[in-house]
Structure 1
Amino acid sequence: MTKQPLTPVGVQNKLTELYALADLALQTEALTIQSFFKEWVKANFTLNTKQDEYLDNLNDQIAAYFGSQCSLCFSSKLPIDLIYPAPPSGEYSKWTGSSNNLAVKSDGKEKPTATGSLTFEFTYTV
């Protein structure tokens, strides 16, 4: 798979590539992002120095949460959107958030079935 820029278009291109995979290969990607969110992002997106450092410092609990959400979306080929405005000039704090309307069901044996969508949004505080 090719690396994409970490931009809204890059995320959509990556999803198109992922969702064209065979079911077993897609499930492997889903399980990988669930367990290794930071590493998966680095392996699949080209990051600038600030993005790379930010990802390195991302809290492990939030990384696990983001990975679980992405994993569910991958397994059910659901949309994931990225809202990533240009950062302000000068000093700022960057926040990463996610919101979703995911509905997840499982019969206990098979992989979960999900509907809905996921959105990641970067915001800045000056």
Structure 2
Amino acid sequence: MFNHLKFTKSMEKQPLTPTGVQTVLNELYALPDEQLQQQARGLAFDFSGWISEHFTLTPSQAQFIENELSASFIAFVSSRVPFVMEHRLPITYSVFSKPPAKEEKEWGKIITTTDNVSQASTSELFTSGATGSFQFISRYYRK
């Protein structure tokens, strides 16, 4: 298994919320390039494990990540997000609508992504040519 780079003592797990995601990103983007690249490779290798390592998950979040994310979604995110991270581009997580009450069984959840990242060829030193942002959007819906 890939050896994830552990957070330093000042970096703690955060809740998987928009604020928690931003806190983790701020801490990751403050890392030196080599450590940030290690984190990005860890996410590419084991998306679910990386999420569990960096975020405190509610039981329903853990169940959703473990059982309901499609392999194609995980493959897409695992291929795109590391590039976005390595270039320190914005990543946002938005949640629309409140989760339904536990006793309501007729609800589903969907996570979509918006990938607005582009890469340009550039001959300028110290310029990556990468621009844009990546967004995760979580929505609850009535089945």
Correspondence list, 1:45-124, <5 A:
45-57=55-67, 58-85=69-96, 86-89=98-101, 90-91=104-105, 92-105=107-120, 114-124=130-140
Aligned 8 A contact 1:98 1:121 in 2: yes
1:105 to partner: Cα distance: 4.6
Normalised TM-score (structure 1): 0.89
- Structure 1 residues 51 and 78, CA gap change in structure 2 (3 angstroms): same
Q: Which runs of 5+ in 2 are unaligned?
A: 1-6, 123-127
1:1-40 → structure 2 map (5 Å cutoff):
1=7, 2-40=12-50
Distance 1:106 1:39, change over 3 A: farther
Deviation per residue, 1:18-62 (Å, 9 max, x gap): 001111100011111112111100100000111001000122221
Structure 1 contact 11–81 (Cα < 8 Å) conserved:
yes
Q: Secondary structure at the match of 1:88?
A: coil
Give, as a single letter, the amino acid of the residue that structure 1 aligns with 2:77.
Answer: F
Supply the distance in 1 between the matched residues of 2:46 and 2:63 (Cα, whole angstroms). 16
Q: Find the counterpart in structure 1 of residue 141 from structure 2.
A: 125
Aligned residue pairs, count? 122
- Aligned identity (percent) is 35
Unaligned runs of 5+ in 1: none
Deviations 1:82-106 (A, max 9, x none): 1113213323010011002110357
Q: Residues 106 and 30 (structure 1 numbering): CA distance in 2 closer, same or farther, change over 3 Å?
A: farther
Encode CA deviations 1:98-121: one digit per residue, 9 max, x unaligned: 0021103579xxxx7521001100
- Please provide the CA RMSD for this pair: 1.6
Structure having the higher helix fraction is: 1
- SS at the partner of 2:20? helix
Letter in 2 for 1:48: T
